[in-house]
Amino acid sequence: MTCPICESGTLRKRKVAVEKYGVNVGEFEAEVCTKCGEQIFSEKEAARIESKITSLGLWGNPVDSRIYKVGGNFVVSIKKTVAKAMGIDKPVGVRLIPQVKKHQLIVELA
């Protein structure tokens, strides 16, 4: 079958290592493009991956969190699993990029 992404490579069945946010989830069967390397999972295999991610105590996307009031300021809580995957093991400086119209606040690690 021709790759639907690059439209020139061929898809071949292969076992591929799956990572989520830098955490190894395991090996799963995918159709892999010989040219661009795109990995396409069947619905069944994608469901197996999602259930493995859940059983590993990882998180879905987006991650639910909460903003707490501390004194006159506010603090965003980050789950331990997310912090670990991001390599955060102590307080770190970050840059906040407010996206007021989109109702988003991007947190960029310094």
Distances (CA, A) of 14 to 25, 34, 37, 92, 93: 16, 11, 11, 40, 41
**Which is nearer to Zn ion, 6 or 109 (by Cβ)?**
6
Give the footprint of Zn ion on this chain (CB under 5 A): 3, 5-6, 9, 33, 35-36, 38
**Which is nearer to Zn ion, 3 or 58 (by Cβ)?**
3
CB of 81 to Zn ion, least distance (A): 33
CB of 22 to Zn ion, least distance (A): 25
**Which is nearer to Zn ion, 38 or 50 (by Cβ)?**
38
Pair 80, 58: CB distance under 8 Å: no
Query: Strand 104-109 to strand 39-40: parallel, antiparallel, or no bridges (unpaired)?
Result: unpaired
**Which is nearer to Zn ion, 7 or 76 (by Cβ)?**
7
Find, among 7, 75, 67, 70, the residue nearest to 35 by Cα: 7
CB of 39 to Zn ion, least distance (A): 10
CB of 3 to Zn ion, least distance (A): 3
Residue 4 CA to residue 109 CA, distance in Å, equals 35
